[in-house]
Structure 1
Amino acid sequence: MSCDHDASNNLSEMHGELFLPCNMPEPPKKNFFTNLFTGSGLSPADRDVLFGEQQSGKSTSGTAALLPSARMDRLGAQTGGATSEIARARNAAIERGEKLGQLDTQTQEMMDQSKNLSKTAALLAAKYEKQDKWWGVWPR
């Protein structure tokens, strides 16, 4: 009987629970990109985090300043040189295209002239062939 009595006292503990109770975690903070893509916009706190203190006019410590340097000047000169080389190559390609067009026109004219010459030569040969047969001057 003592077993049954102990079992009945511990019956509520023996059932177990389907879910264990626990504290709810804090909701996650909204990500900047999530807000940006969902269209909910920026909150004032996000603006302060991104752009620094707007009221005091101070910039954030991560803001980069453009400082001229010898390397930047050298890169600027190199890009200027590369740009001029590209422009020169482009102009040379345009000139080459124009010259090829002129060459094509001249070739077509030469072809037409050679056809005319062959026709004229054929007519001349036919004329002398008739004379040769009529006069019998040329031996065969």
Structure 2
Amino acid sequence: KPFAIDDLKELAGRIRRADSLLIVGDNCGEAVLDKLLLDIAGVPNSYFSVRTKPALNDITMEEALEIGMNEVATILDSGADAPGAQEKTMKSDFFDVYSRADVVISKGQGNLEGLSSARREIFFLLMAKCEVIGGFLGVPKGSFVAYKKAELRG
């Protein structure tokens, strides 16, 4: 199924030039694909964030270590115990990496909800699971999205 918003080409170019990459993790099952991406991307400083506590099927430190995420990235606890990361609840060490990373990929609808008003550039990868998020992005419910949110200035 084609992406309703497709900023993947730009994302791929940015990853190729990056010195640091952060993936803000989401679901346990998807994390094995995130690990593969981090492995083949070959970015010198790679990071993967987990939730403090699972909200639904979210990945935590325990699952990340179980799949060997630490073999390809530094694992960070974002501080989130809700379905999405939010700047105001981020742990300080995570916020430092998040703020400075060359490329940030945010996975899932919950992270979009929490980070949509962030000031920094973020690439959001998700499926619009409801009409509200579909409307926010201007896509039909059920659409796949690779959306680059630009950095806010001022």
TM-score scaled by structure 2? 0.14
Larger radius of gyration: 1
Higher helix share: 1
Greater fraction strand: 2
